[in-house]
Chain A
Amino acid sequence: MTTLEAPTRRRTKPKQSLGREDRNPRRWIFTIVIGIIAILINVPLLNAILVSFKPDGEIARNPIGLPQNATLDHYANVLYASGYDFPKFFLNSGMIAVGTVLLVLVIAVPATYAIVRLGFGGRWIIDGASGLRLLPAIFFVVPFFILFSNLGLQDSVPGLILANTFLNLPLAIILLAAGLRDIPKEVEEAASVDGAGVFRTLHSIVLPMLASTIVAVSVLVFIFTWNDYLFALVLSSSNATPVTLGASNFVTSTGIRWGDISAASFLSTIPPLLFAVFAQRYLVSGLSAGAVKG
């Protein structure tokens, strides 16, 4: 992505923190406090990781401790032994999430620019888009199902990409609109005086400056799409099953297979996590765009 080598944002003054300046030993206090918070909020995940290595009999007997007879059975079940095609579920989730990110960007970036900068349609489009997210997703599930059945998109990866695009467009438009207003209009006006058309301005001036917002939007859209459950439940049955739905197969008619579902849950957090780690730099700077109108 060439857009990533974008000029950095305007505020490049030496970074200062809001809190008073701290000397070295005192900084460790923050490490400790924040470390405790980070562990606390991750207790569910840490527990899932522990459980995923415990044999079935030990899960009930040893709720707190480390696994005494650690086993990889649950991971074997998730990856191949259970009869479920988890590699395919992961692949589906990946294709759906990446496809959704791309489609959301293709739709949202030019449109938001037209709305915000060229005054297209006015604010009601943004209002409407945000309003859509207010509706319980259930409202749309059945109409989507009927529509997709007619279009032959039922139980297909492209179908789920379209559905998730629908769910995530509002978020993207809101964040991109906020990012755009942070770019000084004068730069574009200067370009347009130079004779650059709208498309060239968008491509060579606006996109690079908007790059970090775009990355931030991508990360959030990826996470939300990866974690979708309700639309996947209704719109997929076997070919396009994503990993969230595959994992729920461990909720059986004779109870929940705790170890297997823990392993599946843990594995399914890794891809969004990796994406977020690699994009961390842009995540913060992208979301900070438009935050404060100085």
Chain B
Amino acid sequence: MLSRKLGAVGALLVSATLLTGCSTGGSTGGDGSGSGTVKMVAWPGPEGDAMKEVVDAYNAGQGKEDDINVELVLLSRQDTFSKETALMSSKSSDVDVYWTASYNVGQFSPSLEPLDDIDTSNYFPVATEGLTYNDKLYALPLDVSNHFLLYRTDLIDGLLNDPAAVEVYKSISADVLGEPREPVDPQSWDLDDYKAMSAYFSKSTNADSPTQYGTILQAKNLLYNTMIWNDVLWGYGGNWAEDGKATIDSDAGKKAVQLYADIYKNKWTSPDSAQAEFPETQAALQSGNVAFAMQWSAAYAALNDPEQSPDIAGKIGIAPVPGGQTHVHALSVSLNKYSKNKAAAKTLLSYLATTEAMTAYAEAGGIPAMPEVLSQNEDLNPAFGRVSESISEYGYSEPVFPKTFQAYSALAEALSGAWVGETPVNDAVKNANEALQELLD
């Protein structure tokens, strides 16, 4: 009986080991014939929709000449990078062109093919720089994303034009900041204005506030929320690291966490914002329950669309992030190092780097990272001018190192408890600093 069991176990192990042996053969990819099907990943949303139209146009026109047919694989926004991680972990040749971003191109680079022989002169130089890692370009930029302060113009005007309200604001700002402030236009807010305004527009501090809460913090434990918090960190003059040493535990780092914690604990943001991200922020603004929020550039269009946001459309203004610093990243497309059809994929990528392709992309709703295309098509989307401006004037980049992507997650994990007052600020920045230092080393 026992020997039979052992025999069965042995057989399983042997067959498993054999299979393991088979799998480590691995592929190194190949140039292929230069034609055929190219599989490309995109995520749903304006970027993916625009890419789909570009791809359809390519397949119907230029693609016929090149003898290339592009197949677009849509993966959901939340899963795209997980799925690609799985593909890369097994050196898969399943897709030829990956969907990447400036914040993860470093981590993905061992599985990507450098694109140095593609003409990138049409792009914002800063956009291609952000996709360059160890002096090699690993991706072509598509949309540029950054943050703005989105605010209710009617409510701010109401405050600025009402002398009685101005007095109330002065007394509240004196309580909050230690010195009274005049209310100013959101275009020139600093982080103190942001804090005092949050208090003024919150019922917890100002019973006459037209909104329940002044703002909504995106405080969920999520790497994208680290990007928004970084605006505050940079706004206070901080940074992730200097000369390879993590500096989250600097005064600026502590102040930045403290600002979130103060806003949260004083109920100038909803208690539920502990689990808020992009959709919750949209809902809060759409419902009219908050007066302003730091939010992604892509949110603006939906908030001013009467179909989607009947209560507030037309009343949403756009201003630089308080403190004047915004994170900027580019979505991008990269070539799979293990692709079996690299030549054809490169033909496609070269096409995407032309102003012609990116003009089609802009017409289909994307925000391409080409200054010429943006300035020629400002009639398509008034935000195009804003984007150019924010990239050149307010944008900063987080340090790029191999584990940048992990750093965003690690900081969200270490800090999100303190953002909502659950962990003491000093402990949180100390943990965050240690975690970041480990990733930098």
Direct contact between the two chains A and B in their complex (CB within 8 A): yes
Interface residues of A (CB under 8 A from B): 55-57, 60-61, 83-84, 121-122, 124, 141-142, 145-147, 149-150, 154-155, 233-234, 237-238, 245, 248-256
Interface residues, chain B, with chain A CB atoms under 8 Å away: 1, 4-5, 8, 19, 22-23, 39, 43-49, 52, 71, 73-79, 82-83, 86-87, 89-90, 92, 94-95, 278-279, 282-283, 286-287, 296, 298-299, 301-302, 306-311
Contact A251:B44 (CB < 8 A) given known A57-B308, A256-B279: yes
- In the complex, chain B residues whose CB is within 8 Å of the CB of A84: 74
> How distant is A57 from chain B, measured CB to nearest CB, in Å?
4
Report if A57-B307 is in contact (Cβ < 8 Å); known contacts: A142-B90, A253-B46, A255-B302: yes
Q: Please, which residue of chain A has its CB at the minimum distance from the CB of B283?
A: A60
Residues A124 and B5 in contact in the complex (CB < 8 Å), given A245-B76, A248-B79, A250-B44: yes
Query: Does B94 lie within 8 Å of A237, measured CB to CB?
Result: yes
Q: List 8 A-B contacts (CB under 8 A).
A: A61-B287, A234-B82, A237-B75, A251-B44, A251-B77, A254-B296, A254-B302, A255-B278
Chain A neighbourhood of B76, CB < 8 A: 245, 248-251
Report the separation of the CA atoms of residues A237 and B40 in the bound assembly, to the nearest whole angstrom. 11
- Report Cα–Cα, A233/B85, bound state, in Å: 12
If over half of A's interface residues share one DSSP class (helix, strand or loop), that class is named, otherwise mixed; here it is helix
- Taking CB atoms, residues of chain A closer than 8 Å to B307 are 55-57
Asked, given contacts A249-B74, A253-B45, whether A121 binds B8 with beta carbons under 8 Å apart, the answer is yes
Contact present for B52 and A147 (CB under 8 Å): no
- The interface residues of chain A lying within 8 Å CB-to-CB of B77 are 251-253
Contact of B19 among A147, A252, A255, A256 (CB under 8 A): A147
**Does A121 lie within 8 Å of B5, measured CB to CB?**
yes
Which residues in B have their C-beta under 8 angstroms from that of A238? 71, 73
Q: Which residues of B contact A147 (CB under 8 A)?
A: 19, 23
* Contact, CB under 8 Å: A254 / B298: yes
Closest chain-A Cβ to B368's Cβ sits at a distance in Å of 15
For the complex, what is the distance from the CA of A255 to the CA of B306, rounded to whole Å? 17
Contact A141 B1 (CB under 8 A): no
Cβ A233 vs Cβ B310 within 8 A = no
CB distance from B267 to the nearest CB of A (A): 22
Contact between chains at B43 and A252 (CB < 8 Å): yes
Given the interface pairs A142-B86, A234-B86, the reply to whether A57 lies near B309 with Cβ below 8 Å is yes
Q: How far is the CB of A177 from chain B (nearest CB, A)?
A: 18
Closest to B41 in A: A237
Q: Which of A147, A149, A245, A255 gathers the greatest number of chain B CB atoms within 10 Å?
A: A255
Distance in Å: Cβ of A149 to nearest Cβ of chain B = 6
A245–B77 CA distance with the chains assembled, in angstroms: 11
A237 to B308, CA, bound (A): 31
Which chain A residues lie closer than 8 Å to B95 at the CB level? 237
